[in-house]
Structure 1
Amino acid sequence: MDNSYIQKSFYEKTARNRIASIVDQSSFQEILKPGSIPVSPNLASLDIVGSFDDGVIIGQATIQDEPIYIIAQEGKFMGGAVGEIHGAKIVGTLLKAIENKPKAVVFFVDSGGVRLHEANAGLITISEIMRAMLKVRDAGIPIITVIGGTNGAFGGMGICACLSTHVIMTEEGRLALSGPEVIETIKGVEEFDSKDRALVWRVTGGKTRYLLDHVDFLVEDDVDDIKQGIMEALAQPAIELDLAYLQQRQAGLQQQYDQWFGQKDSIPIWQAMHIDNPDSISLLSAQQIRDIKKG
């Protein structure tokens, strides 16, 4: 693999390296550094080795001198799954942001959902994250979520990601409620073949989510492109989270449901959107996809 690609790739980096590659040099100050809190007691009771940061890094930094709070899930530890301590760190960061009023909260989501080993605690934590995110937005602080990691954003974290003010995705990112393996397990391979990687990315990947207006920005798997996307999101006018806005978003989702419910692939949906050569969408760059949407 090209070494220059690895250096620039968001997908290939660990959570800590993602933070370092996006924020201003030496500006990151970690909150609850490794060793300052206990590892998950729930995993220990099951004789499962925990992680010194429980799979999520939190702190404050600057991006082009703009103060932010940042949360980065480590997808390499238990698939970025949310447990009790993991979730408490996220919630604490969000509530701290309300106190200190940064320019934004930047959230690198990389998670398959709730940690099954801590199912009840994890499910409760997801609801606490959702409530805290809404409080942050109500305080006028934007939440900018980036989805471009190895696990995507599924399950409860898929819901949380959609509560963000702005969502940035790469083609490598995936966003959905139920993961492909879950759908296949419950409904069978005829419903969804989780081993068909092209199908998985067509259905849940960044390109189709962007074309359907489920996310705001589509960028390349390049830290510079992602950083530019974050800066563009920071420059957007504030979005008031009121009833009229929510009703408008709900009406758009209902229209898509009415029009395309039952489709098992994105290609017929792209075709119905009058996109020329929908079969070629998977081969196009993020810029080409952005140009198609403008048209």
Structure 2
Amino acid sequence: MNISYSECSARERIARLLDEGSFHEWLPPSERVASPHLAELGVPSAFDDGVAVGRATLAGRTIFVAAQEGEFMGGGVGEVHGAKLVGLFRRALRERPDAVLLLAESGGVRLHEANAGLIAVSEVMRALLDLRAAGVPTIVLIGGANGCFGGMGIVARCADRIVMSDIGRLAMSGPEVIEASHGVDEFDSRDRALVWRTTGGKHRWLSGDCDLLVADELAAFRAAAIASLNAAAPVTLASLEDEHQLLSERLHLLDAPVEGDEAIALWTRLGVPAPQRVPELDPGELTRS
């Protein structure tokens, strides 16, 4: 039976993605490590602050894993949430597991504790890049209903490899944020087709922002995670120059005026066969085309 990744909770994803019974959680809910800021504001908190972290095995290999819970404040990052991620990454730097998996589902930083959350995200990025520099593969899985936005969108792009489902979403600013800042004429967040053409997994794979595109199935994510265990790619000057060249070339694809749908125009200029059919193709059909 195919089980939807997007419909599972953070702990259900951990239980079904990793080797059965192998997950050992650090700072579980029983430790009651919750945000002090939310309590001060009279906002309900969670005893794990919306993220589960620990050690497990995947295909028999030792990994560290973090899974954000999208049902708690949209997976938003606060001080404690961020500290748990940083602690996991720093421990991985000392103990050198075979890989670190981040099951990302987040709208970004919590507005309730914005300054603490922003600082936390910057520390997460630094700790993740330290792991890359040390050669420990960092793999981000994106397929939850809330997507991966804001500071966590930046964190994801700092990793060695990104795996997305076709219904996953990845961007810096979320559709609602863009609409609130620039108006509905700039971006209609209720236009689901527009949202997925702009931030969805298919678009991110076609434009080179994610490495593997999979179906919304736990088995597909597990297979992709196993295939990524040796995906270490330390940041070097040459790799940064290659990335800048890719971004520059992509930016110039839209130098000419665009008529009609911008996403389809971009896919056309990327050389995608039958770009107008992209929204209706399943991930397997798209990656084979």
With structure 2 as the length reference, what TM-score do the two structures score?
0.96
Contact 1:184 1:191 in 2 (8 A): yes
Contact 1:199 1:265 in 2 (8 A): no
Equivalent residue for 2:239?
245
Contact 2:33 2:49 in 1 (8 A): no
Alignment of 1:121-160 (within 5 A): 121-160=116-155
Contact 2:264 2:276 in 1 (8 A): yes
Picking from 240, 252, 255, the partner of 2:249 is 255
Q: Equivalent residue of 1:224, what SS?
A: helix
Alpha-carbon shift at residue 189 of structure 1 (Å): 0.9
Equivalent residue for 2:287?
290
Picking from 269, 272, 276, the partner of 2:269 is 272
Picking from 186, 209, 222, the partner of 2:204 is 209
Provide closer, same or farther for how the CA distance between residues 159 and 246 of structure 1 changes in structure 2, counting only shifts above 3 A: same
Contact 2:253 2:266 in 1 (8 A): no
Equivalent residue for 1:183?
178
Q: Equivalent residue of 2:265, what SS?
A: helix
Alignment of 1:1-295 (within 5 A): 4-5=1-2, 8-236=3-231, 238-260=232-254, 265-292=262-289
Per-residue deviation, residues 149-204 of structure 1 (Å, max 9, x unmatched): 01111000000000000000001110000110111111111111100001100110
Q: 1:76 and 1:157 mapped to 2: Cα distance?
A: 16
Q: Equivalent residue of 1:173, what SS?
A: coil
Q: 1:176 and 1:161 mapped to 2: Cα distance?
A: 10
Q: Equivalent residue of 2:108, what SS?
A: coil
Q: Equivalent residue of 1:35, what SS?
A: helix
Say what the alpha-carbon RMSD is for the aligned residues.
1.3
Contact 1:202 1:265 in 2 (8 A): no
Q: How many residues align?
A: 286
Q: 1:87 and 1:274 mapped to 2: Cα distance?
A: 40
Alpha-carbon shift at residue 39 of structure 1 (Å): 1.6
Contact 1:69 1:106 in 2 (8 A): yes
Gaps of 5+ in 1: none
Q: 2:59 and 2:273 mapped to 1: Cα distance?
A: 39
Q: Equivalent residue of 2:273, what SS?
A: coil
Q: Equivalent residue of 1:260, what SS?
A: coil
Provide closer, same or farther for how the CA distance between residues 235 and 139 of structure 1 changes in structure 2, counting only shifts above 3 A: closer
279-288 or 197-206, which deviates more? 279-288
Q: 2:230 and 2:69 mapped to 1: Cα distance?
A: 28
With structure 1 as the length reference, what TM-score do the two structures score?
0.94
Contact 2:52 2:68 in 1 (8 A): yes
Q: Residue type matched to 2:147 in 1?
A: G
Q: 1:160 and 1:151 mapped to 2: Cα distance?
A: 16
Alpha-carbon shift at residue 276 of structure 1 (Å): 3.0
